[in-house]
Structure 1
């Protein structure tokens, strides 16, 4: 019987015996909260049994997933974790884990069969991971990420706080908050709070090429988000006052509004006109 890594004493023992210290440069904070495992499993109800886990580390999430009959392919960059990870599972369950030694930026995340993606992802990679998720040609059934609360809130709360990240998610599917996670759920404790977010692709999403076109057209507005829509149209899109007035009327969007106040559908409409 392998003891759970959500037990702080067990985790500290594993770290000490392998002479491992959390690397701040990689955003490493080791999960010790059973409630987080339960929330991830609840979010996965009805999901396929194949999981891609991004950065499993020592395997706290991995233990919970495999104990509930999921087959996990873990993409891990750290040399030490690659060797330790399988030993954190009972021998009879290790066949349900495949460890891919590589950088998640370079490795294929998809399965030929229906799958989901999970991960405890560091702040410095969250934007890259979300953008790549929305660009996958074979999207997952769902994705569940434990991530910094600030980033999670940007995806879940759109009202008057739109930016490129929530726009990319909103064009692709939906985001739902599952759980707030305090610093005390990690060793060492981070300085920021975290959240678990459930992301689901929409069956009615626009084609990927169309979504990327919208994001490309929207980018200049968010680079000057304190500016009014009309100012960006004039400066970046070289529109005359008459042309801006015509765009206002066609899109039913005031040129005096700021980019962060537009809804996803308003961005679709505006970018179609541009």
Structure 2
């Protein structure tokens, strides 16, 4: 039975192995059983599911997942945690630990090897300093991923779920929205971790679309437009896009495209929806 969802047991395990959280890996260990149970509930994991967990740490969330899922594949970059995981997960025969960097592994190969290429669910308490690269790798990998349920920094969670016109709306909002429906699940205070982070956290569930919500001729070109627009928020869209040589467009071309779309030529990117960015991308590539 899962037993790591509290401070005393977590400290006991860390002391047993003379371990402490490593800043370079962004380690903060969850010590709140209600949050751990809430993450698993939000992920909608069943005993038919294969789960990919990223950064299991000492195995707190892994224990909860192992009791709900058919199989858990946990990717952990920190080699020193392997003996800890051997200890904390010794009662579970449905967990496989892979000692790799999630940003370097082939997620498609993992799904093929451990789940016969059938869709998996991703669940993780992500290192905050590399949240966005991990999220984008998951979606851009092309691997069959049904959903992604993750604990992230509250500020990042807000960016994932916000729409146009909000101060938290940005390239991450649009990137996530291109691949999945984002739902805020719960806020998590710093006191739920050892050591306590300096910021609040939140759990977000991303349910991948079976069909993308917009059609676009070249999604890479569209995301270059999006990145450019939000890298220079204070500039008008026509000026910022014209200043990026990779887009190969003039200011007048952007102005003409915006007017064709019924938008003001002085509009900024923060008010455009995903559908509008897709339309702009297609017009500029004609």
Q: TM-score, normalised by structure 2?
A: 0.87
Gaps of 5+ in 1: none
1:129 to 134, 143, 148: 134
Partner of 1:155: 160
Tell me the number of residue pairs that the alignment of Structure 1 and Structure 2 aligns: 270
Q: 1: CA distance between counterparts of 2:122 and 2:43?
A: 10
Deviation at 1:29, TM superposition (A): 0.8
Partner of 2:20: 21
Deviation at 1:207, TM superposition (A): 7.6
Gaps of 5+ in 2: 112-116
Q: TM-score, normalised by structure 1?
A: 0.91
The 5-angstrom pairing of residues 1-274 of structure 1 reads 4-45=3-44, 48-91=48-91, 93=92, 95-110=93-108, 111=111, 112-160=117-165, 161-205=168-212, 210-236=218-244, 237-239=248-250, 241=252, 243-274=253-284
Contact 2:190 2:200 in 1 (8 A): yes
Structure 2 CA distance for partners of 1:67 and 1:264, relative to 1, 3 Å? same
Range moving further from structure 2, 36-45 or 116-125: 36-45
SS of 2:218 mapped into structure 1: helix
Q: 1: CA distance between counterparts of 2:148 and 2:196?
A: 25
Deviation at 1:8, TM superposition (A): 0.8
Deviation at 1:197, TM superposition (A): 0.5
Structure 2 CA distance for partners of 1:199 and 1:147, relative to 1, 3 Å? same
Range moving further from structure 2, 58-67 or 221-230: 221-230
SS of 2:102 mapped into structure 1: coil
1:128-175 per-position Cα deviation (integer Å, ceiling 9, x unaligned): 111112202123110111010011100111232432211111111211
SS of 1:190 mapped into structure 2: coil
Deviation at 1:19, TM superposition (A): 0.7
Contact 2:107 2:143 in 1 (8 A): no
Q: 2: CA distance between counterparts of 1:124 and 1:141?
A: 24
Range moving further from structure 2, 186-195 or 256-265: 256-265
C-alpha RMSD over aligned residues: 2.1
1:180-206 per-position Cα deviation (integer Å, ceiling 9, x unaligned): 000010011111000000011111216
